[in-house]
Amino acid sequence: MKLGAHISAAGGLFKTYARAKEAACETMMVFTKSNRQWKAKPIADEDVEKYKTAQAAHEEITSVAVHASYLINMASPKDDLWEKSVQALKVEVERAAVYGIPLLVFHPGSHVKSGEEAGMDRIATGLRRLLKETAVTAPDTLICLETMAGQGTNLGSTFEQLAYMIDQAGADERLGVCFDTCHVFASGYDIRSADAYEDTMAQFDGIIGLDRLKFFHFNDSKFELGKRKDRHAHIGEGFIGLEGFANFVNDSRWENHAAHMETPKIKELEDGTTIEMDIVNLATLRGLIDVEGG
C-alpha cells in the first residue's frame, strides 16, 4: 500500500512534492484551488510545467489525488446552488486532468431536508452531466464519492446510498469510492478486529463492489463506533485503534492502493513544543505492516 497525507499547496501546487517528501509520503492528496472558495484562478502553462518538473524530481511519490472543494453540494434542492456545484465539480475534474492527476474525491452532498432519495437523485443527475461533459477533457480522471460519517443530512454514509448514487449515475467506469476509515466507522461499520473488518469489506463488496474502491482516507476517530461524528484523531489515538489500521495495511487487495491521512498536522505538548505529526502517523502505519493480519 502507498501511504501518505493531505499536503498543503500553499504557494503553488508544485510545492506539494517537496512537502510530501519531507513528511515521508509515498502518495499525497491536494487541493488544486482554494477549498473554501468557488472561484479558481486559471491554470497557467507555467503552473503545469513547474508541477511536472517537481513530479519528475520526486519519483517516489506516485498516485496523487485531488480533494474537491467543500462548498460543492450536488444534492442541493436549490437550483442555483446545484448548478453552481455541478459547474464547480466539473472545474475540479478538469483541473485534475490538466495536471495529470488520476483521482478526485468529493463529498456527495447534503439533502438539506429535501429527503434522501431526492438528494441522491440530484447528485446522480449532476454526475451524469459531469461524466458526459468531461468525457473528452478528463477521460482518465476517476471521480470518487467519499464515504461520509452521516452528520446532519449528509448523503453517502451507507454503502447502499453510495451504490444507489453510482447506479443512478449510470454506473460509469469513471465513478469510484474513496473509503474514509473515520467516516465509515462513525457511520457504524466496525473495522477494529480482523473479523469485523472482513465483514465490513464483504458488505462493501456485496453492495458496491470492491472494484469501485479506488483509494482510502486513513483517519482514526475521536468518537465511538456509530456516533455519526466526523472528528479525526491521530492513527492509534482514537477509537479505531492500531489493530483496525493493521487490517488495511496488510490486506493484499490494497497493495497498489493509496491511503491519505487527514489528521491534524501538529501536536502541541504541555511544555509548548510542537511535533510534526504526519511523519509520526506514517511511521505508526508502516510499523503495522506484517505485524498483524495477513
Binding residues for Zn ion, rule: CB under 5 A, are 146
216 in helix, strand or coil? Answer: strand
Residue (3 or 65) nearer to Zn ion, CB: 65
Taking CB within 5 to 8 Å according to partner kind, which of Zn ion, Mn ion, none is near residue 214? none
Q: Is 232 a catalytic site residue?
A: yes
CA separation (Å) from 272 to 233, 237, 267, 269, 275?
20, 20, 10, 5, 10
From the list Zn ion, Mn ion, none, pick the one residue 278 interacts with, judged by a Cβ distance below 5 to 8 Å according to partner type: none
CB of 280 to Mn ion, least distance (A): 19
Q: Does the annotation mark 111 as catalytic?
A: no
Residue 220's binding partner among Mn ion, Zn ion, none (Cβ under 5 to 8 angstroms by kind) is none
> Which residue among the candidates 6, 19, 95, 107 is catalytic per the annotation?
107
Which residue, 235, 232, 236, is CA-closest to 223? 232
Report the nearest approach of Mn ion to the CB of residue 30 (Å). 13
Residue 220 binding Mn ion, by CB under 5 A: no
67's CB contacts (< 8 A; 6+ apart) are 6, 29, 30, 31, 35, 104, 105, 106
What's the closest the beta carbon of residue 281 comes to Mn ion, in angstroms?
Answer: 14
Q: Hey, what's the torsion of the CAs at 254, 67, 21, 10, to 10 degrees?
A: 180
Nearest CA to 249 out of 293, 279, 280 is that of 293
**Which of 180, 243 has the CB closer to Mn ion?**
180
Closer Cβ to Zn ion, 145 or 246, answer by number: 145
DSSP 8-state symbol, 212: G
The angle at the Cα of 211, spanning 208 to 214, to the nearest 5 degrees, equals: 100
Q: Compare residues 17 and 216 and give the one whose CB is closer to Mn ion.
A: 216
Catalytic site residue from 95, 174, 183, 234:
183
Reduce the DSSP state of residue 140 to 3 states and report it: coil
Least Å from the CB of residue 217 to Zn ion: 7
DSSP class of residue 38 equals: S
For the window 151-180, what string marks contact with Mn ion as x by the rule CB under 5 A? Answer: -----------------------------x
Nearest distance, CB of residue 147 and Mn ion, angstroms: 8
- Give me 141's grid cell: 480522471
70 catalytic, yes or no? yes
Phi, psi angles (nearest 5°) of residue 198: -60, -40
**Residue 230 is a binding residue for Mn ion (CB under 5 A):** yes
Residues that are catalytic = 36, 67, 70, 107, 146, 180, 183, 217, 230, 232, 262
Residues forming contacts to Mn ion in the complex (CB under 5 A) are 180, 217, 230
